[in-house]
Amino acid sequence: MTGSDEKPAAAGGPRLSLIVPAYDEAARLPSTLQAIAEFVAAQPFAVEVLVVDNNSRDSTRELAAAAAERLPYLRVLAEPQQGKGAAVRAGMLAAAGEFLFIADADLSMPLAELRKFLPPALDDFDVAIGSREAPGAVRYDEPPHRHVMGRVFNLLVKLLAVRGFEDTQCGFKCFRRAAARDLFRRQTLPDWSFDVEILFLAQRLGYRIVEVPIHWYYREQSRIRPLRDSLRMLLGVLRVRWNGWRGVYQAGDRPQGRRNRGQKE
pLDDT tier at 257, thresholds 50, 70, 90: very low
pLDDT of residue 9: 44
pLDDT at 172: 97
Q: Which residue has the higher pLDDT, 234 or 15?
A: 15
Mean pLDDT of 216-231: 72
On whether the CB atoms of residues 180 and 92 are closer than 8 A, the answer is yes
* Predicted confidence (pLDDT) per residue in 160-173, tens digit: 889 899 899 899 99
How far is Cα 113 from Cα 230, in angstroms, rounded to an integer? Answer: 27
Cα 124 from Cα 191, distance rounded (Å): 29
Q: What angle do CA 81, 63, 142 make, to 5 degrees?
A: 75
Angstrom distances, CA of residue 193 to CA of 124, 134, 143, 183 = 26, 21, 22, 14
As a whole number of angstroms, the distance between CA 130 and CA 136 comes to 12
Mean pLDDT of 61-90: 97
Q: For the chain, list the domains and their CATH numbers.
A: 3-245 (3.90.550.10)
Query: Which pLDDT does position 19 carry in this prediction?
Result: 98
Residue 251 in this model has a pLDDT that exceeds 60: no
Give residue 118's identity as a one-letter amino acid code: L
- 201 touches 249 (CB < 8 A): yes
Instruction: Sort 135 into a burial class: Cβ within 10 Å, 0-12 / 13-18 / 19+.
Output: exposed
Q: What's the farthest any 2 CA atoms get from each other in the chain?
A: 49
- Quick one: what percent of the chain has pLDDT higher than 70? 86
DSSP 23-35: SS-TTTHHHHHHH
State the CB neighbour count (10 A cutoff) for residue 199: 26
Helix %, strand %, coil % for the chain, to 5? Answer: 40, 15, 45
pLDDT at position 223 over 70: no
pLDDT band at 224 (very low <50, low <70, confident <90, very high): low
Question: Do strands 3-4 and 74-78 pair parallel, antiparallel, or not at all (unpaired)?
Answer: antiparallel
Amino acid, single-letter form, for residue 193: S
